[in-house]
Amino acid sequence: MLSPSLRQLQRPKKKSDEEVARKLDEAKTYRALSGGCDYYALAISRIAYIHSKGFLHHNIEPKNFLMGVGKRDNMLYAINFGLAKDRYAGFENYNEREQSWGGDLESLGYVLLYFARVSLPWRGLKVSTGKERNELIKQKKTKFAAYINYTRLLWFKDRPDYACLRQRLRPIFKSHGFKYDNAFD
């Protein structure tokens, strides 16, 4: 049994979702999304594990990450391996480049940016290419661009430095008021 997705936990919209979030408030899950930033490191670790088994996820979006419950409330699960939505798709998808570890990590970066800002810079805009999306990221002058640029340089034969990616994200989340509390270490 798993908890609702990270998206549902962060933004409850229905009464039933609010009730679920209230029940999980005592768990580390909701605390991570409301004041801690451990989930970004946990998400990168989960993707690293998937990659270590030789798989790409191809469907990284908020609803496909769920927290465990009970004794496993500190475990993050990735579900629904398939095709990604354009909103969270990596640069490779738009440029007919071979899919790589970097594509998953770029998509994960957009998901984490979504959680940090609660929306994406291009949401609601008609963005048809990765180049246009990249321009929007540059316009925001975000520290996040370094993370995205790193992921775009990765080819399938390259192995990502997952620890480095976690370190790059930590100051971004800190600047948005999140605390690193080691709840999931």
User: What's the burial of 115, exposed, middle or buried (CB within 10 Å: 0-12/13-18/19+)?
Assistant: buried
Report the greatest alpha carbon distance in the chain: 47
- pLDDT tens track for 74-126: 788 888 876 545 555 566 555 556 678 888 998 898 888 777 665 666 677 67
pTM comes to 0.69
pLDDT of residue 103: 87
61 vs 131: which has the higher pLDDT = 61
15 vs 130: which has the higher pLDDT = 130
- pLDDT tens track for 51-76: 888 888 888 888 888 878 888 877 88
* Residue appearing with tokens 């998206």: 7
Provide the token pair at 154.
């990765």
pLDDT band at 140 (very low <50, low <70, confident <90, very high): low
**Residue extents of the structural domains in the chain:** 2-175
Distances (CA, A) of 33 to 6, 12, 155: 8, 12, 31
pLDDT of residue 31: 45
CATH architecture designation of domain 2-175: Orthogonal Bundle (1.10)
pLDDT of residue 173: 72
